[in-house]
Amino acid sequence: MSLPNSEAVAVRTIQRERSAALLKVDIHAAGLIHAEDFQLITPLGAVLSKDQYLGAVAAGILKYAVMELDSPVDVRVYGDAVLLSGETT
């Protein structure tokens, strides 16, 4: 189910704040934004928990120089979960 426009805007705003925190390697701010049960699924299918993901960013294993979207962000809600999908470069 798609979110109403105002809620989708709020989710997209949080995503921009998340991107800014990751670009600055502000792990504290990123930690506040990411849910405890956050999972990142990479294009190769690897699954990282919140701690694994933010730890990799903090250690410089994952480095973000820029986060730009190549497509609109699709925001969908499934119960208590929100799914964002889009292509980044």
* Whether the predicted pLDDT of 55 surpasses 80: yes
Indicate which CATH number applies to the domain containing 50: 3.10.450.50
Range of the domain at 55: 5-85
Domain count, the chain: 1
Strand partners, 81: 78
Sign of CA dihedral 69, 72, 85, 15: positive
Contact 85, 73 (CB under 8 A): yes
CA distance 22 to 65: 9
pLDDT of residue 32: 97
> Tens of pLDDT along 5-54?
777 778 878 888 999 999 999 999 999 999 999 999 888 999 999 999 99
Report which of residues 55 and 83 the model is more confident about.
Answer: 55
Q: What is the model's pLDDT at position 23?
A: 96
Exposed e or buried b per residue across 32-46, where buried means at least 16 C-beta atoms within 10 angstroms of its C-beta: ebbeeebeeeeeeee
CA dist 40 and 48 (Å) reads: 5
Predicted TM-score (pTM) above 0.85: no
